[in-house]
Amino acid sequence: MTYNLWYWDGIPGRGEFVRLALEAAGIPYRECAREPGATARTVADDMQSDRKHPPFAPPYMEAGQLTLGQTANILLYLGEKHGLAPESVSGRYWVNQLQLTIADMVAEAHDTHHPIAASDYYEDQREEAARRAENFRTERIPKFLAYFERVLDSAQGDWLAGGGRWSYADLSLFHLVDGLLYAFPKRMVSVSARYPKVMALHERVANLSALQDYFASGRRLPFGDGIFRYYPELDGK
């Protein structure tokens, strides 16, 4: 089966968490919004098409007759279908729990530059963004990364769920850390030494042989105007 992945073109966004899993596992998929002639209107129109279980927003993925929305839900499906999570029920739910925790931090990272309304320009909420970003840098980054450090320490292995192979949550933690390094470079320089296992996982995923072609291709979109944005005034040690 070739999956149809729908996400806005031009930014990594939440779709990147799904792409990383598909690419690392060598699973065939179509990036529907990047096909010739596709536009943002194409995505919007497709979301409004008649479905039994319509998605609220991208990313969503078509798997045969299934339409799966929400990043963690898509990854839960891929994890079970393609062995990207532990075989046990408890292990699969544990990886899903980790993915949902990553999603919580992703949402908080986004809200540093859009704390009032996603529909308003950053320039219209600079003062509120500065306050939100300071809290995120000083309290939330350490809290989340310390949690993942503790998980890796308890796993007694290279990966979040233990064992000898990565899960989709490891790929997602890589992308989360990558986004933080881009958006908050000064802060990450000052705190990364506290979380050696997290940073080592980031490096391991960056060096996975299965991802090297993807990283070198145009399919891997750079950060910019998506979830992770670099505003020098929002960064700090």
What's the CA gap between 99 and 92, in Å, rounded? 11
As to burial, measured by CB atoms within 10 angstroms (0-12 exposed, 13-18 middle, 19+ buried), residue 141 is buried
* Shared domain check, 98 and 24: no
Give the pLDDT score at 224.
93
Per-residue pLDDT of the chain (237 residues; tens, 9 = 90+): 899 999 999 999 999 999 999 999 999 999 999 999 999 999 999 999 999 999 999 999 999 999 999 999 999 999 999 999 999 999 999 999 999 999 999 999 999 999 999 999 999 999 999 999 999 999 999 999 999 999 999 997 899 999 889 999 999 999 999 999 999 999 999 999 999 999 999 999 999 999 999 999 999 999 999 999 999 999 999
Q: What is the pLDDT of residue 1?
A: 82
- Do residues 75 and 111 both lie within one domain? no
Same domain membership, residue 197 and residue 176: yes
In a domain? residue 237: no
Opening angle at CA 16, ends 12 and 18, nearest 5: 155
119 and 165 fall within a common domain: yes
- Residue 39 pLDDT: 92
Q: Which residues, in sequence order, are CB contacts of 92 under 8 Å at separation 6+?
A: 76, 79, 80, 85, 86
Do 101 and 124 lie in a common domain?
Answer: yes
Confidence at residue 173, expressed as pLDDT on a 0 to 100 scale: 98
Helix crossing, 141-155 with 196-206: angle to 10°?
Answer: 80
Question: Does residue 157 sit in helix, strand or coil?
Answer: coil
**Does some domain include residue 14?**
yes
Look up the CATH number of the domain holding residue 67. Answer: 3.40.30.10
Question: DSSP 3-state assignment of 69?
Answer: strand
Within a domain: 54:
yes
Domain match, 93 and 201 both: yes
Provide the pLDDT for residue 99.
98
> Quick one: 38 exposed, middle or buried, by C-beta within 10 A (0-12, 13-18, 19+)?
middle
Query: Does 234 fall in a domain?
Result: no
Q: Which two tokens stand for residue 31?
A: 């990036």
Q: Are both 186 and 119 inside the same structural domain?
A: yes
Q: pTM for this one? A: 0.96
- Both 29 and 137 in one domain: the answer is no
Report how many domains make up the chain.
2
Residue 23 contacts by C-beta under 8 Å, 6 or more apart in sequence?
210, 211, 214, 219
- For 109, the token pair is 């990272």
- Where in the sequence is the domain holding 38, given as residue range(s)? 3-82
Give yes or no: residues 150 and 97 share one domain: yes
* pLDDT of res. 156: 78
Residue type, 217: S
Rounded to whole angstroms, the Cα distance separating 117 from 127 reads: 13
End position of a domain, from candidates 33, 54, 82 = 82
CATH number at residue 160: 1.20.1050.10
For helices 168-183 and 15-25, the axis angle rounded to 10 degrees is: 130
User: CB-hemisphere CA count at 13 Å for 108?
Assistant: 22
In a domain, 223, yes or no: no
Select from 156, 160, 142 the least CA-distant residue to 94. Answer: 160
Residue 123 vs residues 43, 119, 132, 135, 184: alpha-carbon distances, Å: 27, 12, 14, 19, 18
